[in-house]
Amino acid sequence: MRRVVVVGAGITGLAAAHRLLASTTLPLEVTVLDADDRAGGLIRTSPFAGLDAVDEGADAFLARVPHAMELASELGLGPEIVAPTGAHAAVWRRGLHPIPGDLMMGVPASVRAFAATSLLSPLGKARAALEPFLPATPDNDSIGEYVRARFGDEIHERLVDPLVGSIYAADTDHFSLAAVPQIAALTAERSMLSAARKARRRATATAVSDQVFGVPRRGMGSLIDALGIAITARGGTVRTACAVESIERAAGGYIVHTVGGEVATDAVVLASPARATAPLVRGLDAECADALARWTHAGVVLITLAIPPDQWPAPLTGSGYLVPKPDQRWVTAASFGSNKWAHWRPDDQTMILRVSLGRDGLEVDGFDDAKLLNLCLADLKLHLGRDFTPSAIRISRWPASFPQYRPRHFIEVERIDHALASRAPGVVVAGASYRGIGIPACIQQANAAAARIATHLGT
C-alpha cells in the first residue's frame, strides 16, 4: 500500500486526490487534510433569499477548455451544467457602456471593436487605431506597461484592466503578462490587434464546447460535494479541521505533522495557498519557503443582495458591470445575478445582485459589516442612481484569496518545481497560487500533480 497526503481540500486538492484514486491500479491510501472545518476552500455555495444554492465565490467556470467540464461529467454532473443567459456586461464610467464584442480579454481584435463605443474618447480611439502601425514593443512582463505601450492608456484602463482585474482581483500595472495566457499569446506578433483577431478565430475553432461558461445548477459547491463522495467511495479520506503544521523527511518518505497528530506518507501534494505552504516546506527547502512567503495575495468581499422587483430599474437587463480603476471607490464589479443566471430568479422576480469590493491595492479586509454594506450601497447609488433597500443581505469575506502573479511569476514557479523535485522528491505544489486561478486551471494542475505523484510512486 502506497500512501499520499494531500494538503488542502479546495478544488485543487480534492481533484488531485480523486485523479490519483481514479487512475491507479495499485493499492493507494489517499488522505486529504484541511485546516478549515469544511471542504471547498474558496468555493462555497449556500441558500440565499429563498433560493437553495447561490454561490458565495466562484459562480462559473470556463467551459471552452476541457478540464472542469470533463471532471463534472466524470462525477455525473454533466447533465446539471447550465450556461449563463447571454445577457451582456458593461463598464461603468459616468454611466453604463456596453462592453464591445470583438475583444480578447479586453484587447481589441479589430478597429471596429472600439470605433463606436461610448466608453473611449475620440483621442483614445485615435491612439488605439495606431496600434497595428507601431513597431514591436520590447518584452515586458507587466500587462499594464505592455498594453499601454500598444494601445494607449484608455484601452488599458477602461477595457483590459477591468476585465483582467475583475478575474484576478488585480491591479494589472503590477501583474504578470505571461500569467494571463489569453493576453500572453497576443504578444507573439508585432501587432496585438492582429494577433487578437487570429486568436478569436482559433478560440472558436478549437473550443471543446459552444458554451463559454458553465456551472452545476446547484452551484459550484456541488462539484466539491461530488468530489468528496467520489474520493470516499474509492477508499480515500477527507479530514477537515486538521491543519498541517510542518513536513519532515523520514525513512523512505515524509512525516506530515498536524495540530495534534502526524501522518506518515510516501508523497505529498501541497494544494494549500502559497502563503500557507511556505511554512510547511521550510524543513524541506528553506529557499522555496522564502520565495513562497514573499508572494502577495489580495482580499475581496462579495456582498450578495436581494433587491425587491419594484426597486430594480427595468432597463437594466444586462449581466452587470465592471468599474475601471481610475473610477473605483470600493466596488470593482457588480453582477446582476438574476439576469445572468435564469435559475437565480426567485418566484417574486427579486433581483439577486453580487457586488465585489476590494482588489490588490484597494484593501477592504479590515472593514466591519456595517461599513462594507454602506460603501456598497453608496457605490450602487452612484453607479445605478438608485437607493436600494435590500430584502436580504449576505456578506462573504475572502481575505488574502487571490494570489497576485507579479512579473516573472512563472520563472519562480519553475524554480520551486525544480527545487522540490530535486530536494524533496514526491512533494509537489499545485493550485491557484501557481499556474492559473480559474477552476479549470486548478483542475488541470491537480491532474498534473497526480500524474507526477503516480510516476514517483511507480503506480
Ligand X SMILES: Cc1cc2nc3c(=O)[nH]c(=O)nc-3n(C[C@H](O)[C@H](O)[C@H](O)COP(=O)(O)OP(=O)(O)OC[C@H]3O[C@@H](n4cnc5c(N)ncnc54)[C@H](O)[C@@H]3O)c2cc1C
Q: Which residue, 12 or 176, is less far from ligand X as judged by CB?
A: 12
Q: Which residue, 129 or 448, is less far from ligand X as judged by CB?
A: 448
Q: Which residue, 209 or 311, is less far from ligand X as judged by CB?
A: 209
User: What is the rounded CA–CA span in Å between residue 10 and residue 6?
Assistant: 10
Q: Which residue, 191 or 396, is less far from ligand X as judged by CB?
A: 396
Q: How far is the CB of 311 from ligand X (least distance, A)?
A: 25
Q: How far is the CB of 259 from ligand X (least distance, A)?
A: 9
Q: Which residue, 298 or 306, is less far from ligand X as judged by CB?
A: 298
Bridge partners, residue 32, by sequence: 6, 238
Q: How far is the CB of 436 from ligand X (least distance, A)?
A: 8
Q: How far is the CB of 398 from ligand X (least distance, A)?
A: 4
Bridge partners, residue 28, by sequence: 2
Q: Which residue, 8 or 236, is less far from ligand X as judged by CB?
A: 8
Q: How far is the CB of 122 from ligand X (least distance, A)?
A: 35
Q: How far is the CB of 43 from ligand X (least distance, A)?
A: 5
Q: How far is the CB of 365 from ligand X (least distance, A)?
A: 12
Residues in contact with ligand X by CB under 6 A are 7-13, 33-36, 41-43, 57-61, 243-244, 271-273, 276, 300, 302, 398, 401, 431-432, 437-439, 442
Kindly report the three-state secondary structure assignment for every residue of the chain. CEEEEEECCCHHHHHHHHHHHHHCCCCEEEEEECCCCCCCCCCCEEEECCEEEEECCCCCEECCCHHHHHHHHHCCCHHHEECCCCCCEEEECCCEEECCCCEECCEECCCHHHHCCCCCCHHHHHHHHCHHHCCCCCCCCEHHHHHHHHHCHHHHHHHHHHHHHHHHCCCHHHCECCCCHHHHHHHCCCCHHHHHHHHHHHHHHHCCCCCCEEEECCCCHHHHHHHHHHHHHCCCEEECCCCEEEEEEECCEEEEEECCEEEEECEEEECCCHHHHHHHHCCCCHHHHHHHHHCCEEEEEEEEEEECHHHCCCCCCCCEEECCHHHCCCEEEEEEHHHHCHHHCCCCCCEEEEEEECECCECCCCCCHHHHHHHHHHHHHHHHCCCCCCCEEEEEEEEEEEECCCCCHHHHHHHHHHHHHHHCCCEEECCCCCCCCCHHHHHHHHHHHHHHHHHHHCC
Reading the block at residue 182, the C-alpha cell is 489569453
Q: Which residue, 56 or 141, is less far from ligand X as judged by CB?
A: 56
Reading the block at residue 106, the C-alpha cell is 479586453
Q: Which residue, 151 or 434, is less far from ligand X as judged by CB?
A: 434
Please state the separation of Cα 178 from the chain's center in Å: 16
Q: How far is the CB of 456 from ligand X (least distance, A)?
A: 21
Q: Are 61 and 213 in contact (CB under 8 A)?
A: yes
Q: Which residue, 7 or 81, is less far from ligand X as judged by CB?
A: 7
Q: Which residue, 192 or 446, is less far from ligand X as judged by CB?
A: 446
Q: Are 76 and 359 in contact (CB under 8 A)?
A: no
User: What is the rounded CA–CA span in Å between residue 425 and residue 419?
Assistant: 9
Q: Which residue, 276 or 419, is less far from ligand X as judged by CB?
A: 276
Q: Which residue, 190 or 217, is less far from ligand X as judged by CB?
A: 217
Q: How far is the CB of 344 from ligand X (least distance, A)?
A: 14
Q: How far is the CB of 401 from ligand X (least distance, A)?
A: 4
Q: How far is the CB of 303 from ligand X (least distance, A)?
A: 11
Q: Report which of 100, 88, 60 is spatially closest to residue 318, judged by C-alpha positions.
A: 88
Q: How far is the CB of 95 from ligand X (least distance, A)?
A: 26
For the chain, state the CA radius of gyration: 23
